[in-house]
A and B are shown apart, each in its own frame.
Chain A
């Protein structure tokens, strides 16, 4: 089969702009979702630093807490918090897309696959909050 280039007139090929992701909300949402991994990594690093400070003793832990009170760190952590929530929500919403489970001759509704993820998320978060904040 001859390729179309051999039988058709000269075609115009468009190139995607570097800023293609700014053109449409679904694209921007995708880029923000991918970017959210950086903030997830930031939370992981911060937790590791926190554990390390805890290991090194009370003085170091006080210093770490002081560093957390820095307005720049607070601002960064607020932004990171929203990105991490966005990351989790998009991940849980992906689960029913990827898992086509069938029961009783029908596909299990998306809410029954995503739902337990959300419930586990809230329950585990509540358990961790209880452990940390009980005084």
Chain B
């Protein structure tokens, strides 16, 4: 194995540059290093001005998502040696505005996430004295997969529908809505359905399926959206056949 590998990293300074460009750096090629280690090496030893986000470096915080050779990846979970002999291209996540170098602006995702109401909604709260809302392991299992989402936004970087139509709610926001819809303690499915059964919600999805492929937590947002479509269709048929039932 060679001693070094070349990184081609996107650089963009908002006040100075008209558009992003690539800068190359030679970094040590170590078997145990992930892409994030290489970026930190650049930052510490070669160029302190390189800007990128990271925090936990163990696949939990979801901060270090970037495009590695054109694929959305958590850079803390992507080994440098898998790209030997290189070069490795590291770019900011696609489909988001670039703030600086490898840092993108997540505001749009955060707005969409809030709109899908990813929290427990109760029509009536039980008094505290009655204790917790109990849940069986089976009930937990119905939504657990979707609850593993770490909001890393790799699914948005993979989604061409979001890239072409920024109004689309997007994979993670819908998967998280579904996570709460399927929670036995939740009573907010109707509220979420009103928002996500719009054209920009679940029906915007054309099932490219790449969101599921790139998800580092095996959340399967594409599956969540298709299941949501099935529920929405069932509800529509029900309301058509039995209009007196209401909501």
Interface residues of A (CB under 8 A from B): 3-4, 8-14, 16, 20-21, 23-24, 26-27, 30, 34, 94, 97-100, 102, 105-107
Contact = CB atoms under 8 A, between A and B. Distances in A.
Given A11-B98, A12-B20, A24 B70 contact: yes
B interface majority secondary structure: mixed
B61 interface: no
A12 B14 contact: yes
Contacts of B99: 8-9, 11
A12 B70 contact: no
A26 B213 contact: yes
Interface residues of B, number: 36
A13 B107 CA distance: 14
Interface of B: 12, 14-15, 17, 19-20, 70-71, 94-95, 97-100, 105, 107, 137-138, 141-142, 160, 163-164, 206-210, 213, 220, 222-223, 226-227, 229-230
Given A4-B105, A4-B107, A12-B12, A30 B230 contact: no
Candidate in B137, B142, B206, B223 with the most chain A CB atoms within 10 angstroms: B223
Nearest to B17: A12
A20 B94 CA distance: 12
A34 B220 CA distance: 21
A13 B166 CA distance: 12
A34 B14 CA distance: 39
A8 B105 contact: yes
Contacts of A3: 107
A27 B159 CA distance: 9
Given A20-B160, A34-B206, A9 B223 contact: no
Pairs A-B, 7 closest by C-beta atoms = A11-B97, A98-B226, A9-B14, A4-B107, A105-B138, A12-B98, A30-B208
Contacts of A105: 137-138, 141
A26 B208 contact: yes
B13 to A, nearest CB: 9
Contacts of A20: 160, 163-164
Contacts of A99: 227, 230
Given A9-B14, A98-B223, A27 B141 contact: no
B146 to A, nearest CB: 10
